[in-house]
A and B are shown apart, each in its own frame.
Chain A
């Protein structure tokens, strides 16, 4: 009987090796990576966790634990949902990356990153998971740099904070073990709680520790950056949720919900304000994503019966907006002289699909009407207002900053071309951009389409097993 996690990781590793060997034939590498990710997403979605299934003539038990040396890997109902999200998102990203020229090393390293994120999601004991997060950040250095000589700031910053977080988690584990020896003494739990909060602040990197995000946005290919944000941030937030559910005293000793709310609001405000002032597409995308990330942290900080579903809802809709904006930014960056606003003049006439995708994705991250985020943002603002209406206004101010920044980028794309030799975007790229925009509009008009998927994961996520 093959254990589910083993099958998952084995296929990802074999796939990564095969794709690395075929990386010079980019279309084939992209299709294999996307196909494998889609296959795994479907398998995880369809195969039951509580009973064995026959896959290619071999019995597979997706819910079976793989145990080795004091650690185990097991797919639970909650981790199944996160894995389906990760693989579905990765499958779409590999296709987008192929069509927007993101570098051929992304496919094998993307599969390896998926393997590491999967380990974070299914690994027990929980205290070992931060090490896998650090390994993922080490690996992401290679996809951010993508073989280009020059600026290394983005890759370096991506690596730095997770590494600094490691001692916080490791020492917290010791205090947790000491608390079990003397249950009457609250000091070890209090110290462990503060250490865990410190570790998570370094892992989450909210403002003012957000320096990696704009640096990655500037340096990395845009679709790759969106992949890292959508996947990496989702995994980190899931890890936080696992810690909060596994160690209920974490919320009692330290008011973690309030901390998350404040950090989320500050992040959204900083992200929105800085989006409005950018003059390069890369950094604009980065700060818009930062605003959106702040919103997601706020949703997780609300917790309770309504906060968690909103966070899951936001996670799905933000991925569509992020990918749409990144597709537009990637195409503009590829075809135009640079991603500086000064060099984008006339881009709309040659690259209309890319320009519209940039605007649609940007407006999506701001949560405007006719975008996938409208309903989820509205729900979040209502929840925030119940706590304090001023916080909701701060989030709206942040959204205004994103809108201003995106409108300025759109304006920069208008007018006459500065350089005559700009190719027209291929039809396939236009089709993909329009498909993403259409998907966003459909979800914006009919948000109830996501009700069932969100509802199916709420219960498993709120009662996570340790």
Chain B
């Protein structure tokens, strides 16, 4: 089966379902604390973005988005495994340390959803299709929320990568240039490498100032940053 055939088989998804799934994936990046759910969300966003991009650029180029996203996911998976390894007890169960509680983040996403519903019709951006506009709006909104809510590099980094992914829907609607595709995908992999490095550096900081419970560092220890 050729690549084009594969995408043809998946054509049912290309369109509104892909946007819904990408949006749900973005929510998974921001809300759960569990790193596996977060990585799953990121993978979902990337596959859906790849399907959406195949509408505006050649399929082979669009597939690179999934490959780049996959490479980033593998790097982050390896970083996470390193931190969850019993041989790295300083990270232990405290990782990832969050600055907020899951219900709060869920509430924030709910409010973002209300904002999205209110502003959606008043935003006109004729450069891209309405479907892409919906996807870009929601992904950028959730990415901005992720960047605002998270200080921890795994969640914040993936929020930034989600933003870059959403931007690609605009950029590749305007330019169908091979060099630009290469720059964006290569850039995402390098960005992923830097984020994976920061994830390890942050995770190895130790769990000594973490509290008990499912959200160990929701509140700073004495002398810690709020």
Chain A positions within 8 Å of B, measured between CB atoms, are 69-71, 128, 131, 134-135, 138-139, 141-142, 145, 147-153, 155-156, 159-160, 163-164, 166-167, 170-171, 173-174
Contacts and interface: CB of A to CB of B under 8 A. Distances in A.
Given A135-B187, A138-B194, A156-B198, A70 B171 contact: no
A162 to B, nearest CB: 11
Interface string B161-187: 001100100110011000110010001
Contact of B179 (A70, A148, A150, A174): A70
A171 B156 contact: no
11 contacts: A69-B179, A70-B179, A139-B194, A149-B200, A149-B202, A150-B201, A152-B153, A155-B194, A155-B201, A166-B167, A170-B174
Contact of A142 (B164, B167, B194): B194
Contact of B160 (A131, A149, A163): A163
Interface of B is mostly: helix
Interface of B: 90, 127, 147, 151, 153, 156-157, 160, 163-164, 167, 170-171, 174-175, 179-180, 183, 187, 190-191, 193-194, 197-198, 200-206
A174 B201 CA distance: 39
Most buried by B among A134, A150, A156, A159: A156
Contacts, number: 82
A151 B203 CA distance: 10
B197 A174 contact: no
A159 B204 contact: no
Contacts of B183: 128, 131
Contacts of A141: 194, 197-198
Given A141-B194, A141-B197, A160 B147 contact: yes
A156 B194 CA distance: 9
A71 B180 CA distance: 12
Contacts of B171: 167, 170-171
Nearest to A69: B179
A69 B187 CA distance: 18
Contact of B201 (A131, A135, A148): A148
Contacts of B157: 156
A275 to B, nearest CB: 21
A-B complex: 5 closest residue pairs judged by Cβ atoms = A149-B204, A167-B167, A141-B194, A174-B174, A150-B205
Nearest to B178: A69
A167 B136 CA distance: 12
Contacts of A156: 151, 153, 156-157, 198
B187 A134 contact: yes
A57 B160 CA distance: 49
Given A148-B201, A167-B167, 8 more contacts: A71-B179, A142-B194, A145-B198, A145-B201, A152-B153, A163-B163, A164-B163, A171-B127
